[in-house]
């Protein structure tokens, strides 16, 4: 089978979808998929397939794919693993691609592996591209496809945005999706290909490289199918947009876990690191950094360099951020004398003028803006603005003032605001204005390090 971008493009722009094993029973995977397609507003035609029913959710139900009167772009298969093969045989050449959400294959041992091989053979013969098995498939805010069969009241769906995620792990994809949705961060496409008997990370990356809806790609990788092709495709993609990746299953424990998870052989971690580096992919360290990267790259694109200006109203947290900057390889250079003198004249005497600029607990909204405007004249590449909400003179108006300041500057400004309920309420105001707020010094610095990376 030739592997070209055009081969999988139809997965992201389907007109005709069949749902195999469709059921009217709430709680069934196939029912959740039908409901999702309705909820997201999928505008194509849906064909439920199940010999047991004449109609499901007001849609005519077909007894088999062969009965459907037209060709199908995607057949979503949610039947027991032992029935999948039959379904593909029945599809013949009527179907371009299948998303096999069913589990019970390679991850279950030798029998499952044999089943997979037979499926692969049939799919190749019938020229059907396969996503899965053992996967959630595609959540797509552009084509309004949602085969993630998890209930939307448990796992929220993000709105439309510029991030696309490729994840071998379904649970990772779903959890990150839910986190991003809760932060109001939009996505373009989320793809989970599970056992990967055909469509793999390279296919997806090649598609996303040319996908206009995708501004940033974030990859969760247990293993890579074809290392050479991956590096080629990734190198092309990183020329066009930032790509971050987390590699899990790195050492002994993780490797064993990954093998039983998607049957993946994870290979030596060092090889992956070298491949990422070669392809210009920014490696992230795990779930936390993956999340931080998605959040910051949602707003800011490539940074210029590593020089960080720190502004704070709490000295201790300022020092903590300075430490974390050094841990993550960022530079916290001193302010120039002229800037120091200017800030000394413009800010009250209790402020500590340096980097960090410490505005102390007597801070006002306006002090932040003064510090930011003057500080940024020193050519910093990024500013981390820590706002602790204890100081009584700080008001919610700071949110708008910082938003305006951000619009005046090309330099990325990252807000760090740790705390409890009051803080979290104001943080949601920031997020409502599209300003990412990080709730620990370390996460703010991780985000800055992502932006300052040469490989973003």
Nearer to a copy of itself, 24 or 44 (CB): 24
For residue 87, give every residue at least 6 positions away whose Cβ sits within 8 Å of its Cβ, in sequence order, or none.
20, 65, 75, 77, 79
Per-residue tokens: 190: 């989320």
Say how far apart CA 39 and CA 23 lie, in whole Å: 17
User: What distance in Å separates the CA atoms of residue 128 and residue 1, rounded to the nearest whole number?
Assistant: 10
Decide whether 216 or 308 has the Cβ nearer to a copy of itself: 308
Residue (238 or 427) nearer to a copy of itself, CB: 427
Handedness of CA 239, 240, 244, 245 (dihedral sign): negative
Please identify, using beta-carbon distances, which residue of 94 and 113 lies nearer to a copy of itself: 113
**Closer Cβ to a copy of itself, 80 or 434, answer by number:** 80
Report, in Å, the least distance between residue 95 CB and a copy of itself: 25
Q: Which of 183, 158, 186, 187 is nearest to 429 (CA)?
A: 183
Least Å distance between CB 6 and a copy of itself?
Answer: 29
Q: Shortest gap between Cβ of 378 and a copy of itself (angstroms)?
A: 15
Q: CA 102, CA 136: separation in Å to the nearest integer?
A: 9
Minimal distance in Å, beta carbon 354 to a copy of itself? 5
Least Å distance, CB 332 to a copy of itself, is: 3
Smaller CB distance to a copy of itself: residue 160 or 182?
A: 182
> Could you tell me if 388 and 313 are in contact, meaning their C-beta atoms sit under 8 angstroms apart?
yes
Minimum CB separation of residue 189 from a copy of itself in Å reads 18
């Amino acid at each position: 089978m030739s592997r070209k971008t055009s081969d999988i493009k139809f997965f992201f722009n389907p007109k005709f979808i069949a749902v195999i094993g469709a059921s009217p029973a709430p709680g069934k995977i196939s029912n959740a998929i039908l409901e999702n397609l309705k909820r997201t507003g999928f505008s194509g035609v849906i064909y439920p397939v199940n010999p047991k029913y004449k109609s499901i959710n007001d849609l005519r139900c077909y007894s088999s794919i062969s009965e459907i009167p037209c060709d199908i772009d995607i057949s979503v298969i949610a039947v027991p693993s032992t029935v999948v093969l039959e379904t593909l045989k029945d599809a013949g050449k009527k179907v371009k691609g299948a998303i096999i959400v069913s589990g019970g294959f390679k991850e279950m041992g030798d029998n499952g592996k044999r089943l997979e091989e037979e499926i692969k053979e049939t799919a190749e013969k019938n020229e059907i591209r396969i996503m899965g098995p053992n996967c959630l498939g595609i959540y797509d805010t552009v084509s309004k496809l949602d085969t993630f069969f998890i209930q939307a009241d448990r796992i929220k769906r993000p709105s439309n945005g510029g991030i696309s995620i490729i994840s071998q792990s379904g649970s990772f994809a779903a959890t990150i999706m839910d986190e991003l949705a809760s932060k109001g961060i939009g996505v373009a496409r989320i793809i989970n290909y599970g056992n990967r008997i055909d469509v793999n990370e390279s296919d997806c990356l090649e598609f996303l490289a040319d996908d206009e809806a995708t501004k940033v790609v974030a990859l969760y990788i247990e293993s890579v199918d074809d290392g050479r092709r991956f590096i080629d495709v990734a190198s092309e993609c990183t020329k066009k947009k930032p790509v971050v990746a987390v590699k899990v299953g790195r050492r002994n424990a993780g490797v064993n876990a990954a093998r039983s998870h998607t049957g993946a052989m994870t290979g030596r971690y060092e090889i992956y690191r070298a491949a990422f580096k070669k392809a210009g992919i920014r490696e992230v360290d795990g779930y936390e950094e993956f999340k931080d990267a998605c959040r910051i790259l949602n707003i800011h694109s490539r940074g210029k360099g590593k020089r960080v200006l720190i502004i704070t109203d709490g000295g201790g947290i300022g020092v903590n951020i300075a430490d974390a900057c050094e841990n993550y390889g960022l530079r916290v250079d001193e302010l120039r004398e002229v800037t120091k003198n200017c800030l000394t004249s413009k800010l009250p005497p209790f402020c500590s003028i340096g980097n960090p600029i410490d505005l102390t607990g007597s801070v006002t909204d306006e002090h932040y803006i003064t510090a930011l405007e003057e500080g940024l004249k020193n050519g910093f590449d990024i500013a981390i603005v820590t706002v602790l909400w204890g100081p009584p003179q700080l008001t919610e108006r700071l949110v708008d003032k910082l938003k305006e300041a951000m619009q005046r500057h090309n330099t990325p400004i990252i807000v760090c605001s740790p705390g409890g309920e009051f803080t979290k309420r104001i943080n949601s105001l920031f997020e409502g204005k599209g300003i990412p707020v990080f709730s620990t010094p370390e996460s703010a610095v991780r985000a800055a390090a992502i932006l300052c990376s040469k490989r973003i």
